[in-house]
A and B are shown apart, each in its own frame.
Chain A
Amino acid sequence: MRKIVFEQVGNIGMVFLLAAALIQTVTFSTKSTILFGSCWSFFLIWTVLFGILKWLYSKFWKNEGYKFSDGEFSSKDEREKVISSKAVTFAYKVTITILLVECLIFAELDINSSYLQIAGIFFLSGSIIFAFLAYMLSWIFYDLKI
């Protein structure tokens, strides 16, 4: 369970910082210049740090079955593979539902073009974060249930 929480917290942090960096760039860039603000630095630092932590986790906690390349799909045995499969199914359903709701909300929004990019980044990154959360919470639920 710990490896899934570790992986998903890292992933959520990465997507959150990427969204913040993109919004910052979209907000402060002009037609002639593209600005890369401080959020890009935080995003890059987080990504490198998370990568190092993932590598250390896979090296020093081998008994948990965490693999660097598999990430949140790492499994120690067949039971955890079943849990991952169930969690993916649940996360898929949640993500599709959220995207459908977002389509409806987006269609109803009265926004001008300058805010359209920001709204797009906000909705899409929010969907990814919800997908990560749905996977993590359902993984924990099935781990306790099975």
Chain B
Amino acid sequence: MDIINQVKRYRKSHNLTQESLAQAVGVSRRTIISLEKGSYTPSLLLAFQLADFLEIDINELFYLDKGLE
């Protein structure tokens, strides 16, 4: 079961660049790129930091992909 994230969608809706979002949550731009590609699953702390910064419920930003079940 994978975790789907909507980081790219909400980042764009806030008119943020990957670099500015990365700086805001204290990670590298590569980490944001990996997150948006879905190749990296963030820690709980980073997930909360992203949700907090993007002012969105964490359950809307990250959710389980149950499509194949």
Contact = CB atoms under 8 A, between A and B. Distances in A.
Interface stretch (A15-23, A27-35, A74-82, A117-125): A74-82
Interface residues of A, number: 10
B46 interface: yes
Contacts of B34: 79, 146
A145 interface: yes
A62 to B, nearest CB: 13
Interface string B41-57: 01101100000000000
Contacts of B45: 78
A146 B39 contact: yes
Contacts, number: 26
B43 A78 contact: yes
A90 to B, nearest CB: 18
A146 B28 contact: no
Name the residue among B26, B31, B42 with the largest chain A CB count within 10 angstroms: B31
Nearest to A80: B28
A77 B40 contact: no
B27 A78 contact: yes
B9 interface: no
Nearest to B27: A77
A146 B32 CA distance: 11
Contacts of B42: 78
Interface of B: 26-28, 30-31, 34, 39-40, 42-43, 45-46
Given A77-B26, A77-B31, A79-B40, 11 more contacts: A65-B28, A76-B28, A77-B27, A78-B31, A78-B43, A79-B27, A79-B28, A82-B40, A143-B30, A145-B39, A146-B39
23 contacts: A65-B28, A76-B27, A76-B28, A77-B26, A77-B27, A77-B28, A77-B31, A78-B27, A78-B31, A78-B43, A78-B45, A78-B46, A79-B27, A79-B28, A79-B30, A79-B31, A79-B34, A79-B40, A80-B28, A82-B40, A145-B39, A146-B34, A146-B40
